[in-house]
Structure 1
Amino acid sequence: MGLVTDILTLPAAPVRGIWWVLDKVVRAAEDEYYDPAPVQEALVKLEDARIEGRIDDEEFARREDELMRRLEEIRAYQLRSGGQGGL
């Protein structure tokens, strides 16, 4: 029955292929968006900027809060999706 099913569903193969490609693209985009490494790197650079006096404590606190919220969002996503993601 496998051969018959393959022959009958052959016209739908391009559609299945498109869905497969779209799924891969979405997964790659999610992996990139929910990667904690760039956020962690931004936190390090932010701390360096504060230490070097390029930003004041108020600006540091504001930007640090934004980055920490982003890390929390990433952690929540990883917990929902079942991955640990190295955090």
Structure 2
Amino acid sequence: MITSKQLGAMSEQNIETLEKNELVNISTINIKNELTHEKKILDFLEQIRNPYCFRCGDVPVRVCFSESGTTLETALQELFIRIRQS
């Protein structure tokens, strides 16, 4: 079971120092529907190994959160507006 201390260390990991093949491909994650909500979360954490650094296909992904940062919704809206304007 992953502790909050381990999660904290994972959140500080630099994805650029990790080998791409060390990262779990999120498309290989399979969560069993019959599990309780809490067990689904634990199952996901066990499979992904690091929920802050993983792969989506061949693309390394680094997830981070900020209390005062831009929301994902706003960031995506701005991205789509820039794409439409170009």
TM-score between the two structures when normalised by the length of structure 1: 0.22
Larger gyration radius, structure 1 or structure 2: 1
More strand by share: 2
TM-score between the two structures when normalised by the length of structure 2: 0.22
